[in-house]
Amino acid sequence: MADEWGPEKVVFAYDPDTGMRGVLVIDNTAIGPGKGGIRFAPTVTPVEVFRLARVMTWKCALAGLPFGGAKGGLMGDPTKVDRVAWMRSFAKAIKPYVPLQYVAATDMGTTELDMAVFAHEIGDVRACTGKPMEMGGIPHELGTTGYGVAIATDLTLKTLHAYGTVNLEPEKATIAIQGFGNVGSFTAKFLDELGYKIVAIADITGCIYDPEGLDIPYIMKELQVRENIEKLSGKYEVLPKEKIFEVKADVFIPAATSDVINLETAPLLIKSGTKLVIEAANIPTTAEAEKLLIQRGIWVMPDFVVNAGGVIGSYVEYKGGTEKEAFDLIKYKISRNVKLVLSMAHQNGMTPRQVALEVAKARVRRAMLLRRGAITVAREYFARQKQQYELMIPSLKEET
């Protein structure tokens, strides 16, 4: 799957003592060190990690951050293995590349505590972001990614309504969120605070639906104790998790794992009246499914545009900024990029993904050309130095 953009390095790691199996993909570092979280799940594959690393290449470029794209993956169940030992072992295996070529962060299955372990093992706080506050971190548990998704959703609805592209008044929009972990729950929280009606949410255990709107503050408070939707008290009937694709909602937000919108679930979204998909998760929609949705007039806002809040917050942490600076920068950059992508898509008859990819690729290509140019200049410089030295050798011999 290698192409002109990368990957530059693929590192496989195995530790027979702990059973740790991991992979690091450094996709492209033309703009800066590869940035990307460490995914910890039994379903992780090298191909998935590569796809996620490529998304990070485009995401960082589009957000205008001095990072390239990378991703780490641990192939195990964090609830069934010694996660501290696994994280230490993985950090030790990839230490030669951290932090000059790779800067880690949290992802599905990892938390700020894992980042503390990772940084301590590497011996450098710059090894990762999303660390605990006590280590100068801005944890993703504050909801930076979800905040960015909420800002993107709000602005996308208002912009498409202003263009007359989607026949939907933003204040009347109904929203369904698939996935209710860190990203999904904070997306719901911030959208609820903006006044939007969230009619359905789902996690790995079940789905709850209320056409009149869910009580998001109540649900989030309950989940702090009851852990998942299946264990919620009797205020809402719990449906099978797959029902989230069938409930009537104007906006569908996948906020869980990869490829959940596919040729089986896309027709269900079309039938349920979905008008807009906001990709809060990374690579949640297959190419075939997105093509089908677009053919039916459904707009799809790509992941690397709308869910960049996490990496933008990471950048603020990386340069020693504050929590407030992180949220302010997320709002600014997400708003700017959503406006740019929708404006160009509207003017040129392109999809948001086509526009966003063009912009991101242009920035990465320029950085790659500059890097190649710098290498060429350096080679010419050292060649001249060598030539001058060789010319000096006869006179040096005479003086001797």
Bridge partner residues of 301 (DSSP): 278
Residue 396 has pLDDT above 60, yes or no: no
Domain chopping of the chain, boundaries: 9-140, 144-355
Is residue 333 within 8 A of residue 343, CB to CB? The reply is: no
CATH topology of domain 9-140: Rossmann fold (3.40.50)
Enzyme catalytic residues? 71
Would 9-140 and 144-355 be classified into the same CATH topology?
yes
Name the CATH superfamily, with its identifier, for domain 144-355.
NAD(P)-binding Rossmann-like Domain (3.40.50.720)
Between CA 50 and CA 24 the distance in angstroms is 8
> Strand, coil or helix: what is 57?
helix
Q: What pLDDT is recorded for position 14?
A: 98
Question: Backbone phi, then psi, for 328, in 5-degree steps?
Answer: -65, -45
Q: Say if residue 291 is exposed, middle or buried (CB neighbours under 10 Å; 0-12, 13-18, 19+).
A: middle
* pLDDT tens sequence across 134-171: 999 999 889 999 999 999 999 999 999 999 999 899 99
pLDDT (average), residues 375-385: 79
What is the pairing mode between strands 251-254 and 174-178? parallel
Reported confidence tier of residue 378, pLDDT bands at 50, 70, 90? confident
The rounded mean pLDDT for the chain is 95
C-alpha distance across the termini of the chain, in Å: 59
Q: What pLDDT is recorded for position 374?
A: 82
Per-position DSSP letters for 306-375, written without gaps between them? HSTHHHHHHHHHHTT--HHHHHHHHHHHHHHHHHHHHHHHHHHT--HHHHHHHHHHHHHHHHHHHHHHHH
Rg from Cα positions in the chain: 23
Question: Backbone phi, then psi, for 46, in 5-degree steps?
Answer: -60, -35
Tokens linked to 378: 């350096």
Close Cβ partners of 248 (under 8 Å, ≥ 6 residues apart): 174, 199, 211, 272, 273
Reported confidence tier of residue 398, pLDDT bands at 50, 70, 90? low
Between CA 97 and CA 101 the distance in angstroms is 5
Enter the DSSP assignment of 158: H
